[in-house]
Amino acid sequence: MEIRFSLTAADLQTLADETVDARVKNNDQHFDWQQRHTPALILSLALACAALSPWMLYGRYSAESIIALLLAMPLLFVLGRRYTPRLAALGQARNAHIRQRSSDALGISLHKQLQSSRDQLIGVHVWQITPQALRMTSPSGQQVEISWNTIACVTQTASFYRLASTSQRLMGLAYVLPRQSREMEAPLYEQGLAELLQHCQRNPN
């Protein structure tokens, strides 16, 4: 099975924008997790430190220290529930600034990568799907062949599929193909895509 597709400068711009959006969403999920759980983590750490303080200071628990902990821990818990959200909120502005800087830096880096590969990417690509491997021919005529069992990750955006091996995924690299082709009739291209994705799912790394 053979599939053909072309990439233009506009396609590369769309690819960059969609990739940045996808990665920013992943980063946002990380920051949102921190925002939700930071108050509980601060409170838990404070309670743990209070509970361990007699042992850390004196190397043992005495009857007096145990009674003091029993009296102080409920008060510490109430105060912690009240003030830890405020402490966590102090870092929200900084997190928002970090998010924006991360997004801007990612966009600049990705656009530079695509710009450096512009001549290799713009034009007609031919991918041959065989039972053993995927053979890709770039517009310049350069050929690359990868076996199906090396493809560890298949992701998608609104306009593209991204195929990557484990090492490529760690470096943020991938082989890219559009979800629609200007070089083939839609039913034939969709049939080729389905066969390609079936091979990838059949041979996870």
pLDDT tens readout for residues 96-108? 666 667 667 766 7
Q: Where are the domains of the chain?
A: 2-8+121-202, 11-114
Q: How far apart are CA 103 and CA 20, in angstroms?
A: 7
Average per-residue pLDDT for the chain: 79
pLDDT over threshold 80, residue 54? no
The reported pLDDT for the residue numbered 204 is 45
Q: How far apart are the first and last CA of the chain?
A: 23
- The one-letter amino acid code at 205 reads N
Residue 3 or 95, more confident: 3
Q: How many CA atoms lie within 13 A of 132 on its CB side?
A: 1
- pTM strictly above 0.85: no
Percent of the chain with pLDDT over 90: 22
Judge whether residue 203 has pLDDT over 60. Answer: no
pLDDT tens figures, 12-23:
888 888 877 777
Position with higher pLDDT, 115 vs 49: 49
Q: Which CATH number describes the domain made up of 2-8+121-202? A: 2.30.29
Q: What is the pLDDT of residue 120?
A: 78
pLDDT, average across residues 199-204: 65
pLDDT of 113 above 80? no
| Distances in whole angstroms, Cα of residue 202 to Cα of each of 88, 90, 152, 168 | 45, 48, 11, 20
- Residue-wise pLDDT for 164-197, tens only, equals 887 777 776 788 899 999 999 999 999 999 999 8
Say how many CA atoms lie within 13 Å of 115 toward its Cβ.
6
